[in-house]
Structure 1
Amino acid sequence: MRKSSSLINIKEVLLSTRKVLNENAIIDSDLESDLLVAFALKITRAQLHANINSPISISEQKTIQNLVNRRIGHEPLAYILGVREFFGNLFRVNESVLIPRQETECLVESIINYLRHKSIESPKVLDVGCGSGVIGASILKYFPNIDLISIDISPNAAQIAYENILKITNNNNFHVLVGDLIESIKVQVDLIVANLPYIPTKRIPTLQKEIFLYEPKTALDGGTKGVEIISRLIEQSTKILKPDGAIFLEIDPDQKYILKNKIQHLFPKHKIKVLHDLSGQERVLSITIL
């Protein structure tokens, strides 16, 4: 098929897209240009490269340009595409939820290792500040017998979490609630997991533009020292955590001593572990009640 003089092909648009992304300091411009163009054309990356010489219509060129403009305006790629991969699954995301990070996979792995060695037939797991639901969904997919409760203060986030958990797990053994931490939870639970806001307020304006301009502040701002919300959760957990239960938290490495002191005050008999993420940072705090 002969290409019209007004049209360009996929190869040409990929080259021009990469150039623009590079000029605007987008680090992984090769990957992002592939994803943006494939998204605009409603095809996979494999199909994109299999049809590298195929022409692109004027309307498709405009769609690609709009996507590129959004990206160089610092809108995160995950929000543009509407999805983010986490723990081997694609989750729906938008500006109502924090974009899942790779370091949170360390939290999920540590929870899976913990549950694997517990002899509870159907443990009740509470995912607090669930956001897009990646933690709860990943655990429920691995352990279909758990009784999962996910809760978030944002109704929009709770709706996204519900949709993601149902789609990823194809399991109805869960509940998604709207609420402030665990004040509304009346049942006893075996495990509390949380990736709550832990960035100190004064650091929020210094974050990358992609984060500061687009991601929800309520999912980032942890208060003056970054531990206010996590501390509230630990305090509230004394009312619903079973005597032999556990808490798994994602934290900033600088916060472990403050939180350890808090835990020692509330739980006289306990065991604490600090686990590292893939970059070697102390990222997960696990508390087992003895």
Structure 2
Amino acid sequence: MTTPAMLRDAWLAAAAELESADIDDARFEAEVLLRHATGLNRAQLYASLTDEIDPAAQQRFEAAIAERTTRKPLAYITGTREFYRLEFRVTPDVLIPRPESELLVDAALDHIRQARFRTPEVADVGAGSGAVGIALARHRRGVNLICSDVSRDALLVARDNAQRLLRRPKTSFIQGDLLTPLPGPFHCVVANLPYIPEERLAELEPEVAEHEPRVALTPGTRGTELILRLITQLPSRLHSNGVAVLEVDPGQEIAIADAARQMLPNAEVTVLDDVSQQPRAVRIIAG
């Protein structure tokens, strides 16, 4: 067993180990893993830096650091990821929620409020952890949410998140392909579907390419296959003045917007930029 050390020494040694493994923000990630291993919040940790680390916590910390040096994502080690100011449980069965996907929640909420839907029927298609749909339902009372995904294991994670984060969850979980198994019609459809072209997987960071579920990353050669299929289902699945917000990879937005205009000729179709000023979503408001 490793000789017990002060919390500060354990933190700095771990940060150096992560840095040597080419981990960005090594000091911060070492801190996150140290807090995870010890159960201390940030204020408690900083107040205890000269204390000796508990041997059991030290073992947990060293194991977590060893995992991170293999490029296993931080969120899979801690089992949590913050999204839209909420803490979601994540496992290797689901894609890790990204900050840029918060745009989908913002756009959907804005339209629901402007349209004054009293009890919005919302579908989160390809829900994964349920982050987008659950964040939306948490911030809009009266939402009836359906989360769908092809993965049963992903839906189990989404169900757990809904039970923890929604005060009075009116949420259903349906395994299946896009909107096909869902009742509808809907006032709102949000979808962060796989959109990375297959040939680009090798270019991704090891945390993504080697650890996140492939089925949640790529739908095939072009990357747009699933999004285009979903668009063909929207005409019969959106209420009048209903909204669909679809996340896209920058560079796909024109093709996706054109397909939406073709399938829904009376719709208002808009490309939305994320916080980095990259085209990240296509919003479709049904005519």
- TM-score, length-scaled by structure 1: 0.95
Residue 187 of structure 1: CA displacement?
2.6
Query: What corresponds to 1:209 in structure 2?
Result: 206
- Structure 1 match to 2:190: 193
Asked whether the equivalents of residues 136 and 165 of structure 1 are also in contact (C-alpha less than 8 Å), the reply is: no
Alignment partners' CA distance in 1, 2:3 and 2:151: 47
State the partner residue of 1:42.
Answer: 39
**Residue 179 of structure 1 pairs with residue 172 of structure 2:** no
Q: Which one-letter code corresponds to 2:256 in the other structure?
A: L
2:19 to 19, 22, 37: 22
Alignment match of 2:242 (pick from 236, 241, 245): 245
- The alpha carbon displacement at 1:26 in A equals 1.2
Tell me which of 215, 225, 230 is aligned to 1:228.
225
1:94 offset after TM fit, Å? 0.5
Q: Distance in 1 between matches of 2:258 and 2:221?
A: 18
What letter is aligned with 2:121?
K
Q: Secondary structure at the match of 2:32?
A: helix
* Residue identity in the other structure for 1:127: D
Q: How many Å separate the matches in 2 of 1:289 and 1:148?
A: 19
Amino acid at match of 2:266: K
| Structure 2 residue corresponding to 1:67, chosen from 43, 64, 68 | 64
| Deviations 1:242-266 (CA, angstroms, capped at 9, x unpaired) | 2332211111121112112211221
Distance in 1 between the 2:24 and 2:203 partners?
Answer: 19
Asked if structure 1 preserves the Cα contact closer than 8 Å seen for 2:92 and 2:213, the reply is yes
> Which of these residues, 74, 77, 80, is aligned with residue 74 of structure 2?
77
Deviation at 1:237, TM superposition (A): 2.0
Matched, 1:168 2:188: no
Aligned to 2:263: 266
Separation (CA, whole Å) in 2 of partners of 1:27 and 1:106? 25
Relative to structure 1, the CA distance from residue 247 to residue 6 in structure 2 (aligned partners, 3 Å threshold; closer, same or farther) is: closer
C-alpha deviations, 1:121-179, integer Å up to 9, x for none?
A: 11111110011011111111111211111111111111111111221122221211111
User: How far apart are 1:285 and its partner, in Å?
Assistant: 0.6
Deviation at 1:185, TM superposition (A): 1.5
- SS of 2:219 mapped into structure 1: coil
Q: Match of 2:253, as an amino acid?
A: K
Kindly tell me: are residues 123 and 60 of structure 1, through their superposed partners in 2, closer, same or farther at Cα, counting changes over 3 Å?
A: closer
Query: 2-side partners of 1:162 and 1:248: how far apart?
Result: 22
Give the Cα separation in 2 of the matches to 1:7 and 1:204.
Answer: 41
- Percent identity over the alignment is 33
Q: Report the TM-score when normalising by structure 2.
A: 0.96
Mapped to 2, the partners of 1:246 and 1:62 lie a distance apart of 50
The one-letter amino acid of 1:74's match is R
Correspondence 1:117 to 2:114: yes
- Distance of aligned partners of 1:172 and 1:61 in 2 relative to their CA distance in 1, 3 Å threshold: closer
Q: What amino acid maps onto 1:111 in structure 2?
A: A
Q: Secondary structure at the match of 2:179?
A: coil
| Whole-Å separation in 2 of the counterparts to 1:220 and 1:156 | 16
Distance (whole Å) between structure 2 residues aligned to residue 14 and residue 260 of structure 1: 48
What is the one-letter code of the residue matched to 1:287? I
User: How many residue pairs get matched?
Assistant: 286
- In 2, distance between residues paired with 1:281 and 1:38? 34
Aligned-partner residue type, residue 163 of structure 2: L
Deviation at 1:43, TM superposition (A): 1.9
CA distance in 1, matches of 2:239, 2:73: 40
- Assess, with a 3 A threshold, how the Cα gap between structure 1 residues 56 and 280 changes in structure 2: closer, same or farther: same
C-alpha distance in 2 between matches for 1:59 and 1:126: 44
CA-CA distance at 1:118 after TM superposition: 1.0
C-alpha separation between the residues in 1 aligned to 2:26 and 2:132? Answer: 29
List 4+ stretches of structure 1 deviating above 4 A: none
> What is the letter of the counterpart of residue 96 of structure 1?
D
Structure 2 CA distance, aligned partners of 1:32 and 1:137? 27
Q: Counterparts of 1:244 and 1:37 in 2: how far apart (Å)?
A: 49
Corresponding residue SS for 2:115: coil
Which letter maps to 2:68? R
Equivalent in the alignment of 2:216: 219
